[in-house]
């Protein structure tokens, strides 16, 4: 199933704790996040937007690509797609995304003994 589509925030759990864990305390937490995904085979363009801020990455599943973190730093990562789950290891967390009942479900887990799991559910618009 293709991830292509436009999605808006439906619910999220532990977002503030996640932002604190990755050192991004200045992020807005009261905005509707809109995620747009364009998938062409293994090529992805992934964009998240809130008013006055947009974060976008382009990557190819199975190939090391330069990506940008939420904090704006550049890093190299290899995206994987297995059993319908897209995974990318960011510097501060592992991000896994899948479609469940036509909803985009994201789980981000920070590293360390006090790891924080952040879950976001986005409905298709």
DSSP-derived secondary structure letter, 71: T
| CATH number of domain containing 34 | 2.40.128.20
**Per-residue pLDDT tens for 23-69?**
877 665 667 889 999 999 999 999 999 888 888 999 999 999 999 98
- Output the CA–CA distances (angstroms, integers) from residue 51 to 16, 29, 32, 58, 76, in the order listed: 18, 12, 9, 21, 28
Q: Taking the alpha carbons of 40, 42, 45, 47 in that order, is the dihedral positive or negative?
A: positive
Q: How many domains does the chain have?
A: 1
122 is written with which tokens? 């986005």
With tokens 């330069």, the residue in question is 66
Give the integer Cα–Cα distance in Å for 13 and 107: 10
Q: According to the model, what pLDDT value does residue 115 have? A: 86
Q: According to the model, what pLDDT value does residue 108 have? A: 94
Q: Are the C-beta atoms of residues 48 and 37 closer than 8 Å to each other? A: no
Q: According to the model, what pLDDT value does residue 57 have? A: 96
Contacts (Cβ under 8 Å, ≥6 apart) of 100: none
Closest CA to 29 of 47, 14, 46, 44: 14
Q: Are the C-beta atoms of residues 59 and 41 closer than 8 Å to each other? A: no
Looking at per-residue confidence, does 69 or 97 come out higher? 97
Domain that holds residue 104: 5-124
């Amino acid at each position: 199933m293709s991830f292509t589509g436009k999605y808006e925030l439906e619910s999220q759990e532990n977002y503030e704790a996640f932002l604190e864990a990755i050192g991004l305390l200045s992020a807005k937490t009261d905005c509707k996040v809109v995620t747009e995904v364009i998938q062409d085979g293994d090529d992805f363009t992934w964009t998240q937007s809130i008013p006055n801020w947009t974060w976008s990455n382009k990557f190819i599943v199975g190939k090391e690509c330069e990506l940008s973190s939420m904090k704006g730093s550049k890093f190299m990562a290899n995206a994987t797609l297995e059993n319908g789950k897209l995974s990318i290891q960011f510097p501060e967390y592992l991000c896994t995304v899948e479609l469940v009942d036509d909803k985009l479900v994201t789980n981000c887990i920070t590293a360390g003994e006090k790891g924080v799991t952040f879950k976001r559910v986005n409905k298709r618009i």
